Each structure stands twice: as structure tokens, then as C-alpha cells.
Amino acid sequence: MQYIRQLIRKTMNTLSMIGASIVTIALISYSATIFMILGSKNSPFTLHGFIGYSALLAMIIEVARIWNAFIKNGMRSDVPRRVHIYSRYAYIWWVIAYITGSLIAMSS
């Protein structure tokens, strides 16, 4: 385990470690979202359902694109411009879905 920690510290700077931690937390959050969907008694075919499912799909696609870029280009490379732009839009859509979901839940 110590060897792995030393290897990670050698290959990742502080910002990369923070970014990797945020992505890990985000993936756990996506899992929590899936459990919320499975536990819901409401129909998924509502405005809230459409917004939420599309945001979840956008973030899953984003993770796949980032992993694809990492596998093709390696750890030390820059994020491709198209992936960076898509990530911004996916994140904005995720935030919009979160806010609208909160507003819908509060109004019910």
C-alpha cells in the first residue's frame, strides 16, 4: 500500500489529486442518484424525470469521454478541447437539473 501511495504522489500533483478526489465523489453521487431513482414511487415520465435522467446520462457520457482521453493520451497530457467544452456543458446541465429538482420538490 505504501508503494502505491508513493507512486501516486510521484505521478500526480496536488491539483490532480484534488480533481481525482472530486471525480470519485461525483461517481459516488451518481450511484446515489441511481438509488434515488430506483426508490422513487413517481413515474419517470415527468419533467423532473426527463431533466434528471438527461443530466445523469450527460455526466455518464462525460466520465466515459474523460476516461477515453486519459487512455489515449496518458496522465500528463492536456484535456482535449472538445472534452473540456462538453464537460462544462454537462456540469452546467447537472447543476440546472439539481436546482430545478429542488424547486419542484419544494413546491410539492
Q: What is the DSSP string of 15-83?
A: HHHHHHHHHHHHHHHHHHHHHHHHH--S-S-SHHHHHHHHHHHHHHHHHHHHHHHHHHH-TTSPPPHHH
- Domain membership of residue 99 as a residue range: 26-107
Q: Is residue 7 part of a domain?
A: no
User: Is 60 contained in some domain?
Assistant: yes
Dist. CA 10–CA 24, nearest whole Å: 20
Q: Is the pTM of this model over 0.75?
A: no
pLDDT at 85 over 70: yes
79 vs 66: CA distance, rounded Å: 8
Q: Is the pLDDT of residue 15 over 80?
A: no
Residue 1 covered by a domain: no
Q: What is the pLDDT of residues 49-74, one digit of tens each?
A: 888 889 889 988 988 898 888 888 88
Instruction: Name the CA radius of gyration of the chain, rounded.
Output: 17
Reported confidence tier of residue 100, pLDDT bands at 50, 70, 90: confident
Residue 58: what pLDDT? 92
Whether 3 is in a domain gets the answer: no
Q: Write down the pLDDT at residue 92.
A: 92
93 inside domain: yes
In a domain, 47, yes or no: yes
Lowest mean pLDDT among 24-28, 53-57, 93-97, 99-103: 24-28
CB 46 within 8 A of CB 71: no
pLDDT of residue 89: 93
Flag whether 79 is in a domain.
yes
Domain count, the chain: 1
